[in-house]
Amino acid sequence: MHKVVTVDLEKDILAENRRIADGNRKHLEDHSIVAFDFLGAIGSGKTLIIEKLTDILKAKGKRPAAIAGDVSGDDDYTRFVAHGIPAANINTGKECHLDAHLVDHALEDLPLDDIDYLFIENVGNLVCPVDFPLGSNKRIVVISVTEGDDMVRKHPAIFAFSDVIIINKVDLAQAMEVDPKILERDARRINPGAKIIMMDARHGKGMDELVSALGL
pLDDT at residue 1 above 50?
A: no
pLDDT at residue 2 above 50?
A: no
pLDDT (tens digit per residue) in 128-163 = 888 899 999 999 999 999 999 999 999 999 999 999
Kindly report the backbone phi and psi dihedral angles of residue 76, in degrees, each rounded to the nearest multiple of 5, phi listed first. Answer: -70, -40
pLDDT at residue 4 above 70?
A: no
pLDDT (tens digit per residue) in 195-212 = 999 999 999 999 999 999
Given a contact cutoff of 8 angstroms between Cβ atoms, the answer to whether 109 and 88 are in contact is yes
Given a contact cutoff of 8 angstroms between Cβ atoms, the answer to whether 115 and 107 are in contact is no
pLDDT at residue 97 above 50?
A: yes
pLDDT at residue 84 above 80?
A: yes
Average pLDDT over residues 38-58: 96
pLDDT number for residue 124: 85
Give the amino acid at 72.
S
Reported CATH class of domain 2-214: alpha beta
- Please count the residues of the chain: 216
